[in-house]
Structure 1
Amino acid sequence: MNSVWSGIGLRLAATGLFAVMSLFVRLASFEAPVGQIMFWRSSVALIPIVLYLMWRRQFPRGLRTARPFGHLKRSTFGLVSMFFSFLSLAYLPLALATALGFLAPLLVLPVAMIMLRERPGIAVFTATFAGFAGVALMLWPTLSTPGIDTGVLIGIGAGLTMAVTTAFAKVQIKALTSTESAGTIAFYFALVCSIGGLLTLPLGWADPSPETLIWLIGAGLTGGFAHIFMTEALARAPASTLSAFEYTAMIWALLLDVTVFSLLPEPVSLVGAFLIVLAAAVVMFGEKIGVPVPQPDLAAIPAKQAE
């Protein structure tokens, strides 16, 4: 029981760290382009990940893999997902960007039907449509405003694209976890994203101010430690027990929007956020209440947060 409680504590800490990482990404985006943020986020995250693998005595032995193309495929989907996730954070409030991210477990359903030939039940389909309705409610105050800003539309489009690519990445993670450890998957993901971010250097990087440099380094460290906490949580408690606490990310996002940016959500947005969390929870836990649910491992280091 103590192990389970420590796992829950680590899962809550990981969710909080991912939320702070998103805050650092948004703060850095006021000055630095997305590609530069991706490089710092991923390359700095390699430091705590490698130290963790050394502590587990899995470095460098744990980096050996018989599935390099599987890691490349998963990391490519994750890289694209990270790019659009950071792009959405650059243009949208934290709560709205986080809400769009919660579409990923809902979008896993059609992806799993196509790629894994799974057949979910009618209740899961209903929950999926409810989740999309929740997103519509969260978007309504923004979309109904006369003269909507182009940047907001870019952020919404990026958030939706991020959710789609995250769904594909999660299916790839499911395929990899049968033979690969979480630390190995996290390492190669961070490595590929570092290289991807570095390739954007010719497009023009900012000369970051000391404050922005803090945000960039902070994003990498919080993201890396969040990965470690997530891995240790999964080692101490069942994934099904821990998954429920992923939704505390919405609470963190709302609180950070209020305290850091003084953004108060509209009541209809709160209703939408509740619908999204409820729908995603039905999809992830429906099996426990007799709802046929496909089996992708949604708790295995999400690509947006592996973000």
Structure 2
Amino acid sequence: MTSRKDFLQGVGLRLLAAFLMTAMSAAVHGAAETVPIGQIMFWRSAVALVPICLYMMWLGDFPHGLRTDRPGLHITRSVFGAFSMAMSFLSLAYLPVANAQALAYLAPVLVLPLAALMLKERLSNAIFIAIALGFGGVLLLLWDAFERPGDGALIGVAAGLAYAVTMAFVRVHTKMMTLTESSSTIAFYFAVVSAVIGLATLPLGWVALNAAVLGWLVLAGVIGGVGHIVANEAVARAPVSALAPFDFTGLIWALGFDLILFSVFPGVTGLLGVFAITFAALVVTFAGSRAVRDQSK
């Protein structure tokens, strides 16, 4: 049973994770113009090990916290997670941050049946309505991309869909792992496996890095590492289905990054999508808090 305190902490951590992971996406988008996806994966994952290890030291879990009795679960989660990362970065290479982020938000919709089936979580009518509203907002935001795909946009859309499908599995898998594994341990092994997979692409051709591109890559790694820990801490405190709609708030940040960093902004249809997604998150805030109160009676 989830307490009200745990639920609110989970929501707060999920909101912070949404901002951090969107900021990471903006950094990846900035680097992806010139850097291959495998090279970005390596830098993002290798650099992320620094904040992850520092976090484990702060908790007093390093290095003994790296021991695990379930290496198979870590391998499965990390391999699927690495594939999801590659698809996300490929999408960001061909689409604006907001459009790629919108496609990523199909993952919470796919999480719902998985959470109900694998984790036995109960889904209220309000959560179903909010998810449907948020999904409608995503479709509104993507309308212009489908109407005028442009060079490589269809590749970005396909990669974004692949990311959404695999990420739905990864999130439910992570929720199951948090019952016995710490969030920092999960994040550590994911970063190690992803870095190794990224390094394996070196023979395919990496590029020389200038100061600006290196800055994007280091920023992506640091923010991504912190965001990964925060996201895992969130799912350890509250049901996956209740947290999923809060991911939509990252779209607001994505629009801001597109405007400030890349001079891109959606039209009226995109703004309507943002409004729908924001309203969906507000609905779930009240529905989730009320559900927690009912369970605690």
TM-score greater than 0.5 by the shorter chain? yes
Matched AA of 2:249: T
Among 45, 52, 63, the alignment partner of 2:48 is 45
Matched AA of 2:138: V
| Residue of structure 1 in register with 2:193 after alignment | 192
Deviation at 1:17, TM superposition (A): 3.0
Matched AA of 1:102: Y
Deviation at 1:44, TM superposition (A): 0.6
After superposition, where does 1:6-155 map in structure 2 within 5 Å?
A: 14-112=17-115, 115=118, 120=123, 127-145=130-148, 148-155=149-156
Aligned length: 285
Deviation at 1:224, TM superposition (A): 1.9
Q: Would the aligned equivalents of 1:103 and 1:276 in 2 still touch at CA under 8 Å?
A: no
Deviation at 1:201, TM superposition (A): 1.2
After superposition, where does 1:171-186 map in structure 2 within 5 Å?
A: 171-186=172-187
Structure 1 residue ranges without an equivalent (≥5): 292-307
Matched AA of 2:112: L
Query: Are the structure 2 counterparts of residues 160 and 11 from structure 1 closer, same or farther at C-alpha, using a change threshold of 3 Å?
Result: closer
- C-alpha distance in structure 1 between counterparts of 2:289 and 2:244, whole Å: 13
Deviation at 1:248, TM superposition (A): 3.5
Matched AA of 2:73: G
Deviation at 1:275, TM superposition (A): 3.1
Query: Are the structure 2 counterparts of residues 289 and 232 from structure 1 closer, same or farther at C-alpha, using a change threshold of 3 Å?
Result: closer
RMSD: 3.4
- C-alpha distance in structure 1 between counterparts of 2:276 and 2:126, whole Å: 15
- C-alpha distance in structure 1 between counterparts of 2:122 and 2:7, whole Å: 32
| Residue of structure 2 in register with 1:224 after alignment | 225
The answer to whether 1:264 aligns with 2:268 is: no
Q: Would the aligned equivalents of 1:106 and 1:283 in 2 still touch at CA under 8 Å?
A: no
| Residue of structure 1 in register with 2:255 after alignment | 254
Q: Would the aligned equivalents of 1:106 and 1:280 in 2 still touch at CA under 8 Å?
A: no
- C-alpha distance in structure 2 between counterparts of 1:281 and 1:193, whole Å: 35
Q: Percent identity?
A: 52
Q: Would the aligned equivalents of 1:45 and 1:221 in 2 still touch at CA under 8 Å?
A: yes
Matched AA of 2:70: R
- C-alpha distance in structure 2 between counterparts of 1:268 and 1:59, whole Å: 49
Matched AA of 1:54: M
| Residue of structure 1 in register with 2:3 after alignment | none
Q: Would the aligned equivalents of 2:84 and 2:162 in 1 still touch at CA under 8 Å?
A: yes
Q: Would the aligned equivalents of 1:31 and 1:208 in 2 still touch at CA under 8 Å?
A: no
CA deviation profile, 1:67-104 (whole Å, cap 9, x unmatched):
10011111111111111111111111111111222221
Matched AA of 2:267: E
Structure 2 residue ranges without an equivalent (≥5): 1-5, 293-297
